[in-house]
Amino acid sequence: MIVSKMITVDQYSPVGDLVCIVFCWAMLILVTCAYVRRTRSFTIFRGILLTLMVAAYGSLIYRSLLSSWQASYYIPVIASRLVMHIALFASLFLFMVYIAEVARLEKKPRHRVILSAGIAFAAFALYDLIGTVTGGIFRIDPDGQVYTGPSVFSFGYLAFLLMNVSLMLYVRRRVYKRLMVGFFLMVFLAALINVLQRMNGQSSFTVVSFALPAMAMLYFMHSNPYDTQLGAVDPNSLADYVQHAEKRHRPFGYMSLYMPAFDLDDPSQSIPEEVQAAMRKVSDNAFRSSTLFFVGRGHYILVYPLHKNEDAQERIRKTMDFFMENYNKFQYDYKIVIGQADENHVFRDYIGFIRNIHYSMKMNSVHVVKSDERGAYAEYEYILHELTDIYNRHNLDDPRVLVYCQPVWDISMNRFDTAEALMRLNLEKTGLVLPDRFISIAEENGFIHTLTEIILHKTCEEIRKLTREGYLFSRISVNISAQELKEGTFCQDITRIITQSGIDSSRIALELTESENESDFRIAQDRINHLRKMSIQFYLDDFGTGYSNMDRIMQLPFDIIKFDRTLVTACRTDPKAAVIIKRLAQLFEELKYTVLYEGVETEDDAERCRDMSAFYLQGTKYSAPVPIAEMKNFFAKADGPKRDVKEPA
């Protein structure tokens, strides 16, 4: 009776609102049963579904009460109508926020979008509220006669529609073209439904039309990533799981299974059904609320929340018993890694962490992760994160990058005349980080040249201060990597930093380790010849280690040869080594190279090196590396009081 009366009186049918409610509940059930990445865009999507459900319920209540009007229904009718409109305005506001999020707008543009959409939402909602309360927009006579004024909702809908379309046009190059076309078509279809129903005096499908863009969101952005055979989800979802667990401080456990038999280039070679059945059984029953992630060919990780699996150790034992039964049956090689992520050792790249463990594992073995392994990898990930940020910011005064110096003793002048600049990192979570913990990371990820620029800039600034204050020294050397010589702007960057500092370029030297690569050699030769024109001196660092080719050395215009500390150490106990090193040093001296020995720790070391054509001595006998500002304690001062300078004992 109610339905027929509603159709007859105001051409409204509840079908549209009921469809919207069922649709929203269906989507919520699907995203609950499926594994959906818990991103901010997904949170916004759930908010859109909630507002649509509220609007649909509000519309049903409003129309139902209006169709069976009684004077006592006045306030509920007014309230349900306002709830419907405000909920629809809220969904339009959230849709704009959603677009800004998935397009990954920068902070300022995103804030502008949110602010403009928020102002529009507040303005239309407030105007609708005031107009309804005062009766200027909507009122009902005691006999049930409805009076309406200007359609605030229509104006608001049109305004939000134009804002959303404008925003989608603005971000169209940030989103995959087909996805954006899909969004455009769903928005157009929703608008078309509203236009057609208004032309026919209908309003039954207003709320459900708003659900069409939400359908596009679910299909394009939050669709079910499960593998239908194993129920596994993709590796991106694992990163999301870890991030979500970290935010909620929820420790989790994991079991990783790698089967190299299925690490194949041929995708048609799938895991046999009987093995899949065993894996499904583990995924379904081994742990409560567990999720299986497929992270690479033949590699799966089962993750489970610890707070729901207090008996995790017993479950692990049963799972391993089940696995060994099946291993004896199928005989596929494996590597298993078992571990837990507690609140102190949560990091993002568990795939990389586990694969790193695989390298040291024997086939058909099980590795239980120890806390120090988690800590070491968490530190690696943290340092990488900080280096990435340093690289992206490219701030030559970045306070996280420190310059230390180790003074170098000049035998002929009987004083400290040069020094080597050494890099350190000072990070919030780790404190002081020595080069052996971050240089290789920087080189592997292409960050090393930025670090060199920072060190060079800070060294030049300190040289300028020391020179202005009258300290006596020849130069300070800065280490460079053979890798960064390949940078197309290497020479320009070095020249620019030295020139902008205002110091004499002869105050800077560059230390370089020889490379065995022919192309690297040619590049180094070209870069050295270019920078030597500025009177920059070059050191051959670490001579005697790794790769040393005398012919290559002769072709590179080095000024100083640094004998590595391992040669100094060898001379202490090996007479033959001492003879060879002495002959090499004499050869370099005859060829007009200057010889520097590093790693000098005792007076015996120093005396031995003096007898082996040493010109410079460097090592802990003289000083450990100190902050560059402390070099004033080592260099003599031109206008200072005369003092008897003695070599440190």
For the segment 2-35, what is each residue's pLDDT rounded down to a tens digit? 333 333 335 678 888 899 999 889 888 877 776 6
The ranges of the chain annotated as CATH 1.20.1070 are 2-221
Which strands form 232-233's sheet, in the order they lie side by side? Answer: 232-233, 291-296, 299-305, 252-258, 335-341, 365-368
- Contact of 531 with 558, CB cutoff 8 Å: no
Task: Give the pLDDT confidence of 122-181 residue by residue, as tens digits.
Answer: 999 999 888 888 888 888 877 767 777 777 888 888 998 899 889 888 888 777 677 778
- Count of C-beta atoms within a 10 Å radius of residue 150: 11
Q: How confident is the model at residue 563 (pLDDT cuts 50, 70, 90)?
A: very high
- Tell me which architecture the domain covering 2-221 has in CATH: Up-down Bundle (1.20)
Task: Give the pLDDT confidence of 275-299 residue by residue, as tens digits.
Answer: 888 888 888 889 998 989 888 878 8
Place of tokens 């319920």: 57
The ranges of the chain annotated as CATH 3.20.20.450 are 399-566+616-637
Of the given ranges (144-153, 206-215, 468-477), which has the lowest mean pLDDT?
A: 144-153
What's the rounded mean pLDDT across residues 579-595? Answer: 93
399-566+616-637 under CATH 3.20.20.450, yes or no = yes
Contact partners, residue 574, CB within 8 Å, separation at least 6: none
Phi first, then psi, for residue 478 (nearest 5°) are: -125, 135
Of the given ranges (262-276, 294-308, 390-404), which has the lowest mean pLDDT?
A: 262-276
Contact partners, residue 538, CB within 8 Å, separation at least 6: 509, 510, 511, 512, 528, 531, 532, 556, 557, 558, 559, 560
Residues 321, 6: Cα–Cα separation, whole Å: 65
- Contact of 84 with 59, CB cutoff 8 Å: yes
Residue 516 has pLDDT above 70, yes or no: no
DSSP 632: G
Alpha helices (H) in 200-270, listed in sequence order? 206-221, 235-247
Phi first, then psi, for residue 381 (nearest 5°) are: -65, -40
Residues 202, 479: Cα–Cα separation, whole Å: 77
Residues 610, 227: Cα–Cα separation, whole Å: 71
At 419, is the secondary structure helix, strand, or coil? Answer: strand
The ranges of the chain annotated as CATH 3.30.70.270 are 232-369
Of the given ranges (151-165, 233-247, 423-437, 552-566), which has the lowest mean pLDDT?
A: 233-247
* CATH superfamily of domain region 232-369: Reverse transcriptase/Diguanylate cyclase domain (3.30.70.270)
How far the first Cα of the chain sits from its last, in Å, is 107
247-269 burial: b if 16+ Cβ within 10 Å, else e: eeebbbbbbbbbbeebeeeeeee
Place of tokens 């204050």: 469
Residue 462 has pLDDT above 90, yes or no: yes
Residues 538, 534, 455, 491: what is their CA dihedral angle, to the nearest 10 degrees?
-90
